[in-house]
Amino acid sequence: MYNSKSPNAEEFISDQEVLESLDYGVKNKDNREEIEKILAQAASMKGLNHRQVALLLKCDDPKVIERLYTIAEEIKLHIYGRRIVLFAPLYLSNYCVNGCRYCAYHNANCEMQRKQLSQEEIEKEVIALQDMGHKRLALETGEDPVNCPIEYVLESIKTIYGIKHKNGAIRRVNVNIAATTVENYRKLKEAGIGTYILFQETYHKPTYEYMHPKGPKHNYAYHTEAMDRAMEGGIDDVGIGALLGLYDHHYDMVAMMLHIKHLEDVHGVGPHTISVPRIRPAEGVDEVYPHAVSDEDFKKAVAILRCAVPYTGIIISTRESPELRAQVIRLGVSQVSGGSSTGIGGYADGSGEQREDTAQFEVNDHRTLDQVIGWLCESGYVPSFCTACYREGRTGDRFMSLAKAGQICNVCQPNALMTLKEYREDYASAQTAKYIDQVIEEEVKHITNEKVKTITLQNLDKIAAGERDFRF
């Protein structure tokens, strides 16, 4: 029985409600009146509910899809401007007791070289990441209470925040670790994490249980209810995501909408971010994926998400090719990783080179961070290393109320330009620096508040003179 306020996973992600919604989508996919109503609602940036999402997913009329893309682009531009926030994953440990069928870190993969970074090795990784220009990290670990206990994660966060190399600093550490207890979430909150990220992988319980045949992750309810425990532990910025292609992505998209509604109804705030990883080949994984998502379906899914939850950041990783990343950035993605290594210790020993022997999945965008920044600038975007909200206490419902009131962009734009200027001064190649200068000159004009514009211009001069870390 569907109940968005229930604490039980199988009631707030009701299989019956998802199936009925998809059925509603099939029956109404040619209902012009309903489609017009949904597109108008999307265009007014009021978001969409799970049934409306189901209908758009099922609708295959090219004209409707074209309009959907136009609306998604308009929402993206209105709320996020041309800004794209950059981050890097940092893999700390690939010990894992779980048996996830799609992941190279699965417990039975004897080919995988297991490694956990020592605090000294983390320091080297972080210095390498700082020297690339990164300010925002997503920590990644496998699940292993013995080889990778919560104390290790907490110590690593402390180490990372403490490293100041040249002008570098990691200013926001997001954490992607296995579902855990309220007590451990409280400890993560006290350690000063930004967002707690946990992908659901798939909301379809039988597929979930098949894909996670052993280990603690096998428990669907414990995993699906993790964000409730995180919020109970005081973490108000949570990041969700489904690994598209494990099961029918229509099912997972509708179920994800139910998850969002549940978090809003129970905790008063939905997810801070949504990640849209797609299933990728991985070493030691032979699984065949009948539900693999095509590029066209993937783009449509991103555009629907942008319309459904206009104020939630959408994240894409280097799993995707540069070409596809360019297309989905246009349609709604607001955060991208750059210069990523998905192996353990891949930054310090190779400036972000992929370490195949310890990598979780194959990367499809091998460009350096500088190349990604140059490409974004050249394509008319504004790369941002901003971490201001978390540091100013603008999290959870405080952040969402500012975002929904349309006020957050008043600080995003100047913060983006000031952090981009820092990047330009400290890390950019000569060619990228030229692009950045053009972007900053043009984008300063788009700061509408004259007082904010004046302060921003003053701060840009101060950054050129060597000062750092300004924010609104």
CA angle 447, 448, 451 (to 5 degrees): 85
Instruction: Tell me the closest approach of the beta carbon of residue 298 to ligand SF4, in angstroms.
Output: 20
Minimal distance in Å, beta carbon 304 to ligand SF4?
22
Rounded (5°) CA angle 360-168-380: 75
**Shortest gap between Cβ of 293 and ligand SF4 (angstroms)?**
18
Q: How far is the CB of 356 from ligand SF4 (least distance, A)?
A: 16
CB of 224 to ligand SF4, least distance (A): 15
Nearest to 57 by CA among 207, 273, 239, 248: 248
The nearest distance, CB 372 to ligand SF4, in angstroms, is: 17
Give me the phi and psi of 285, to 5 degrees please: -125, 120
**Given its phi and psi angles, is residue 344 left (phi above 0), alpha (psi -120 to 50 degrees) or beta?**
beta
Residues 6+ apart with CB under 8 A from 154: 187, 188, 191
Toward ligand SF4, which CB reaches closer, 331 or 386? 386
- CA–CA separation, 143 and 140 (whole Å): 10
Rank residues 56 and 197 by Cβ distance to ligand SF4 and give the closer one. Answer: 197
CB 383 within 8 A of CB 370: no
Q: Which is nearer to ligand SF4, 143 or 365 (CB)?
A: 143
Binding site for ligand SF4 (CB under 6 A): 85, 96, 98, 100, 103, 105-106, 142-143, 178, 217, 384, 386-389, 408, 411-412, 415
Output 285 or 433, the one with its CB closest to ligand SF4. 285
CB 388 within 8 A of CB 411: yes
Nearer to ligand SF4, 28 or 360 (CB): 360
Q: What residues does 175 pair with on adjacent strands?
A: 139, 196
- Smallest distance, ligand SF4 to C-beta of residue 403, A: 7
Give me the least distance between CB of 398 and ligand SF4, in Å please.
11
The nearer residue to ligand SF4, 38 or 388, going by C-beta atoms, is 388
Contact 160, 175 (CB under 8 A): no
- For ligand SF4, which is the closer residue by CB, 384 or 459? 384
Q: Output 146 or 430, the one with its CB closest to ligand SF4.
A: 146
Q: Which two tokens stand for residue 234?
A: 């005081």
Per the CB < 8 A criterion, the answer to whether 365 and 351 are in contact is: no
CB atoms within 10 A of CB 259: 24
